Amino acid sequence: MGMANAYSMINQELQNSVSEKEYLEKTNQDFKVKEWGTTNLAIICDDKIFVGVDSRATSGMDKGFIISETAGKLFRINDYNILGAMAGNAIDCSNTLTYVKRKMENLKEVMEHMRNTKDAMEIDEIEDLLGIHFAVDEIEDLGIHFAAREAKKYIDIQSNSFDGSPLIIGWEQKDERFDPHIYKVSKEDFIIESTRHELVVNGSGGERAALYWRQHYKPGNNSREEILNLMKRTLSYVSLFDEMSGGIMRVVEMKPLGYNEEYNQQVLQVLFDHYDHLGNDLSSSLFTLWNNTDGAYVHELNIKVHESFIEEFEGYKQSVVIRKNKKFIIRLLHFEEDCHVDLALKKVENNHKFWVQLNRQPEHLVDIINT
């Protein structure tokens, strides 16, 4: 294949990526606004980077309503040392990272072809054919910086409709040395973090994650296991309080030439494994098990539950769905610190006895609250 044809094919493929995005926006408006909220964490630790994500996808229109508990938030930009972590609209973020991945793959093929054929085509000729601008060193080093810049360019092009903020995480190779970097990219931001032991957060749970990390992270020579466990606990802590984070907690360890998934567990399992560290934060909270067979899980049900608790229980603050399936919903109810949670529990128990005596089942457990 001639070089001009190769460049033209790449340019057309990149244009197709944008056209595909425009098509998705026109045909999937309902789905487009439903993938919101998450928690992304990343931290550089000497010769490795830890990345943590949850797997809950929630509705942008109906806050806290769960679309999926198994959404994929990690994206492979290349096969060994660059990852993306998605926060915000899933389609927007996925299209951005797919664009970057394809461009890097195609330019890599072009450069290999140029080296093999010793094609003398000038950079300005390549730019004209691709319809983009780049520096020579960008082609020679298709690494983390190139990926982040291309993501920012793509987001800026889509700025009127783009809703999201991916993290781009990976390594820059300099001769025999690899340097780690974390980028946060959005319409407003283009931030790079290269400092070791500085946690980078993203998504709806980011602020709460940063607070928990500052309270529990001890500067110094932390072992790999200490960092890994604190990542798990931070993700779990956020999921106990942020209604838009949850599902499965995943932690990936990235090295210069590869990465491994080190943890993949439901939030309740993380809580059981680390209850000694997380239990104190739940001293004014109640876990409740709800029957999900009498009333379908809908956003209106979440509102009804919340409003009922506000009306009935003094000191009630928040209800977070920790897990749900076809039969049950596990809700974590949070109260003010000085609230007598045992009184709330006693009232629910007494109302439950009322229904038992009637030998009837309430239409939904929310009716137990209002009996």
Q: Give the tens place of pLDDT for each residue, 106-126.
A: 877 777 766 666 555 555 665
Taking residues 242-261, what's their average pLDDT? 94
* pLDDT over 80 (residue 40): yes
Taking residues 316-334, what's their average pLDDT? 90
Categorise residue 177: left if φ over 0, alpha if ψ from -120 to 50, beta otherwise: beta
* pLDDT over 70 (residue 90): yes
pLDDT of res. 4? 37
pLDDT of res. 220? 80
Beta bridge partners of residue 44, listed in sequence order: 49
* pLDDT over 50 (residue 28): no
Q: What are the DSSP calls for 239-257, one per residue? A: HHH-TT--SEEEEEEEETT
**Packing angle between helix 144-157 and helix 90-117, nearest 10 degrees?**
130
pLDDT of res. 245? 95
Residues 301/364, Cβ–Cβ less than 8 Å: yes
Q: Is 315 exposed, middle or buried (0-12, 13-18, 19+ CB in 10 A)?
A: middle
Give the phi and the psi of residue 221 in degrees, each rounded to 5: -85, 80
pLDDT-based confidence at residue 33 (cuts at 50, 70, 90): very low
Angle at 193 between CA 191 and CA 196, to 5 degrees: 170
Taking residues 203-218, what's their average pLDDT? 94
pLDDT of res. 116? 66
Range with top average pLDDT, 57-61, 256-260, 325-329: 256-260
pLDDT of res. 135? 53
pTM: 0.81
pLDDT of res. 358? 65
pLDDT of res. 190? 92
Strands, E, within the chain: which ranges? 40-45, 48-53, 57-58, 66-68, 74-76, 82-85, 167-174, 177-185, 190-193, 200-202, 248-255, 258-266, 285-291, 316-324, 328-335
Q: Give the tens place of pLDDT for each residue, 3-25.
A: 334 333 333 443 343 333 332 33
Q: Give the tens place of pLDDT for each residue, 263-274.
A: 999 999 999 999
Q: Give the tens place of pLDDT for each residue, 326-354.
A: 888 899 999 998 887 777 777 777 766 76
Taking residues 275-292, what's their average pLDDT? 88
pLDDT of res. 141? 62
Q: From CA 282, how far away is CA 36, in angstroms rounded? A: 26
Give the phi and the psi of residue 265 in degrees, each rounded to 5: -145, 150
Q: What secondary structure letter does DSSP report for 36?
A: B
